[in-house]
Amino acid sequence: MMHNMTHYLKQIDLSHAAKLQNDLPGQGFELSRPQHTIFQAKKPGITCTLYESGKLMVQGKGKDEFIEFYIEPLIGDFSFSHPENNLDMTPHIGVDEAGKGDFFGPLVIAAVYADEARIKYLLEEGVCDSKRLSDKVIVRLANKLRKLTHFIVKITPPKYNELYSSFGNLNTLLAWGHATAIEELHGKTQCKNILIDQFANEVVVESALAKKKLSLNLDQRHKGEEDPVVAAASILARDGFLHGIESLGKKVDMELPKGASKQVIAAGKRLVTMHGPDILKEIGKLHFRTRNEILQDSFLC
């Protein structure tokens, strides 16, 4: 496996120090003892330093094989050569959303359940955060991922606008959507371990689940999509969003742009000119500033 990290840093048990000091000269290393270290071992292409704190640092062009074939077997930690083994392989539910930054189209929240065998399947299929994938790849992967136990909450713009005016806050609305997807999937699987990509203060989702009287092990993480189950949810959510914005576009006979860009404002102005301002309720999220920008200077007959 190729690594482009400039150095490897690992907290190790100092009971390994004697063996390291004994073995390394035989592998062509020269040992010295700079301040705060137990030793520093150098040979062309590799420097290996063990600090008094127990931190082991390996640097240099030749480090990868040295770590994989000597250091990892010695310390019993193979996370450098097999980073996928660091993943949480216990059965869990992953949740993510798509469409929250897009003026046009639905808000979609997806929850996916996977056990160890299915997590391995996700890794084999190359499932990763949907933001790193093209729309084409998303649609192809989503077709495979629908085989997994999942649940999707698709909130169309009219429903979204109604919910937003009752919640008055996007994060509360998102938390309600997450809690709804989690409740459904927990009901189907009885799985209590939930991982979500954190989007707000932790309390927001916790209180949405409490309202549903659900007692679960909820883990909220920034960059949650690094977990393959959350990544699978992000792909299904994105796929749901893409289908949603496409079908709305067909309804109004125009390809609706994504995001909240100048193109979105221009498309909105054209639609308002053709159909009147009420059309925005049907296809857009009204609390976005984008709405005001569309309606500015709209000359309506």
Predicted local confidence at residue 301, as pLDDT: 40
- pLDDT tens-place string over residues 219-236: 998 888 889 999 999 999
Q: In the predicted model, is pLDDT for residue 259 greater than 90? A: yes
Q: What are phi and psi of 101, to 5 degrees?
A: -100, 5
**pLDDT tens digits for range 52-91:** 999 999 999 999 999 999 999 898 887 787 766 667 889 9
Q: Which domains does the chain have, with CATH numbers?
A: 7-86 (3.30.310.10), 92-247 (3.30.420.10), 257-295 (no CATH)
Tell me, what DSSP letter sits at residue 54? S
% pLDDT > 70, the chain: 95
d(CA 141, CA 153): 19
Q: In the Cβ-directed half-sphere of 41, how many Cα atoms lie within 13 Å? A: 21
Confidence bin at 140 (pLDDT 50/70/90): very high
**Predicted local confidence at residue 76, as pLDDT:** 84
- Tallying the residues shown for the chain, one arrives at 301
pTM: 0.74
Q: What's the whole-number average pLDDT of the chain?
A: 92
Q: Is the separation of the CB atoms in 32 and 19 below 8 Å?
A: no
d(CA 168, CA 242): 26
pLDDT band at 5, cuts 50/70/90?
Answer: low
C-alpha 283/C-alpha 25 separation (Å) is 70
At residue 48, φ and ψ (nearest 5 deg) are: -125, 120
Q: How many angstroms separate the first and last alpha carbons of the chain?
A: 65
Three-point CA angle 200, 206, 208, nearest 5°: 95
- Distance CA(180)–CA(188), nearest Å, equals 13
